[in-house]
Amino acid sequence: MADCILVLDAGTTSTRAMVFAGDGTMEAVAQAELTQHYPRPGWVEHDAGEIWDKTLKCAREVIGQDAPRIAAIGITNQRETVVAWDRNSGEPLARAIVWQDRRTADFCATMKADGHEVMVQKRTGLLLDPYFSGTKMRWMLDYDAAVQAAAQNGSLAFGTIESWLVYKLSGGAHISDASNASRSLLLSLDGAQFDSDLCELFGVPPAALPEVVDTHGRLADCDPQWLGAAVPICGLAGDQQSATIGQGCLSFGETKATYGTGAFVLTNKGREIPHSDNRLLGTVLYQENGERTYAIEGACFVAGSLIQYLRDQLNLIGSAAETEELARSISDSGEVVIVPALAGLGAPHWLPDARGVISGLSFASGRAQIARAALEAMAHQTHDLASAFAADGAPWTHLRIDGGMSANDWMAQDLADILEIEVERPDFIETTALGAAILAAVGCGLHADLETAALTMRSETTTFSPKMDGDVRTSRLARYSKALSAA
């Protein structure tokens, strides 16, 4: 009996495949790390062929000979990362440009200087920043000969990672779900398909873009050669929208924060097209039968990647788990503050040229102080976002957290202390994958609707309540503000 969901979770540092039962239990998982390419400062690239190969290998590993049990496939992905491929060969034309990449900063600055940002934000909910997909497509068209040639002969296909994986799995379906498409700078929040005027503004040929589809339903079918059966693809969502659904934030005002490679906060805005006066983002949360539910979002580019940097580049820690032990080993950070602008600053600052800062160092500063300051930076960044959300009339009354970093109890408590609200963490923190499973389960009919699926498939939770003395909190935030000005 087909009663399980296969989820493909194509992240920034790894790709995974998971099998979920209809009650949300994860039955199997396989994971493979992805190679990170840094050809120049500020440039970040992936090999799209590697993403496909490793994703397929993981999928085959988790389902084994049980393809008949898979009712549907759900895909969630690192957003804004752009793949260019040839429609005829189905092969990538260049390395994928990753969401963290900052190479289009000058192009964005020129467009801002030319007065385009107000119109772009009004229509798309986004700001002119290298983060988003459209400027990456434009860069490929300007500087990559293979992409240029494909555009000229009509064989060019652009897509984000979910679009690329669906194309490969299905043998040619070129689609993008509305949540991912809304991150491109090329889709009006109230437009069914990519906007011709925005495509002209950014110099991206509409013919190279995918069809915009719902986030759940029967969206495409997997070619039987890959998994041994023509499994329907029934759920697609960008990772942050997927995590929001996995957290059950299906009612207006409910908020989640995901601490993975970056940190991303989304608040459900219902059918209301969001607008921010405080440099937050409007985005599509999900789309069902052509009807959209929206979210307002704040994005910080560096979270877990800061811990990875301490481990891999500075050799200060041996593992991410070590940071909690180090943080607990001292009473405070000794006034050490980290502003983790290793890839610029995201919301609400949007400074692509900002750079990371470690301040307050003394001879008493060691591994423990720096590790604790790195964890404290998560709460500091989140507090900046909380202030912007409140100024936009969307204050948080509580916060649901997830992502790999949220497993750190010390960090979860610190968030509650700095934000002065209750922080709730599910016992099963892989809510990004769970959200894709929920979408696919509804899309294939295993569950009647998103509310039913979320109620059935979500796990129990743990709550962290604020305990910090007000003077300590005020001093922490003052030191962070001072360090931020240096970034």
- Interval 139-175: pLDDT, tens: 999 999 999 999 999 999 999 999 999 999 999 999 9
Are 236 and 219 contacting, i.e. CB atoms less than 8 angstroms apart?
Answer: yes
Give the mean pLDDT of the chain. 94
The predicted model gives 253-258 an average pLDDT of 92
Q: Is 115 left (phi over 0), alpha (psi -120 to 50) or beta?
A: left
Burial of 334 (0-12, 13-18, 19+ CB in 10 A): middle
The Cα 134–Cα 309 span in angstroms is 28
Instruction: Dump the DSSP string for 129-198.
Output: -TTSHHHHHHHHHHH-HHHHHHHHHT-EEEE-HHHHHHHHHHTS--EEEHHHHTTSSSS-TT-SS--HHH
Q: Is 73 left (phi over 0), alpha (psi -120 to 50) or beta?
A: beta
Confidence band (pLDDT; 50, 70, 90) for 350?
confident
Return the structure tokens found at 448. Answer: 């009647």
The Cα 87–Cα 84 span in angstroms is 10
pLDDT of res. 299: 86
Q: Which of 265, 246, 247, 268 is nearest to 257 (CA)?
A: 265
pLDDT of res. 247: 93
pLDDT of 417 higher than 90: yes
The predicted model gives 98-126 an average pLDDT of 94
pLDDT of res. 199: 97
The Cα 309–Cα 253 span in angstroms is 34
Confidence band (pLDDT; 50, 70, 90) for 84?
very high
Return the residue matching tokens 């804004």: 80
pLDDT of 471 higher than 90: yes
- Report which of residues 256 and 253 the model is more confident about: 256
For residue 90, which amino acid is it?
Answer: G
The Cα 283–Cα 274 span in angstroms is 8
Terminus-to-terminus CA distance in the chain, angstroms?
56
The predicted model gives 300-328 an average pLDDT of 91
| Spacing of C-alpha 8 from chain mean position | 14
**What whole-number percentage of the chain has pLDDT above 90?**
84
Instruction: Dump the DSSP string for 361-395.
Output: --TT--HHHHHHHHHHHHHHHHHHHHHHHHHTT--
The predicted model gives 180-205 an average pLDDT of 97
**Distances 259 to 83, 104, 389 between C-alpha atoms, Å:** 25, 25, 18
**What whole-number percentage of the chain has pLDDT above 70?**
100
Confidence band (pLDDT; 50, 70, 90) for 394?
confident
Domain 4-239 has CATH 3.80.10.10: no
pLDDT of 2 higher than 90: no
Confidence band (pLDDT; 50, 70, 90) for 1?
low
| Spacing of C-alpha 394 from chain mean position | 21
SS3 41: coil
Prediction pTM value = 0.88
pLDDT of res. 196: 96
* Residues in contact with 73: Cβ distance below 8 Å, sequence separation at least 6, in sequence order: 5, 6, 7, 8, 169, 222, 231, 232, 233, 234, 235, 440
pLDDT of res. 216: 97
Are 334 and 366 contacting, i.e. CB atoms less than 8 angstroms apart?
Answer: no
The Cα 311–Cα 155 span in angstroms is 42
Burial of 456 (0-12, 13-18, 19+ CB in 10 A): middle
The secondary structure of the chain in percent helix, strand, coil, rounded to multiples of 5, reads 40, 25, 35
pLDDT of 487 higher than 80: no
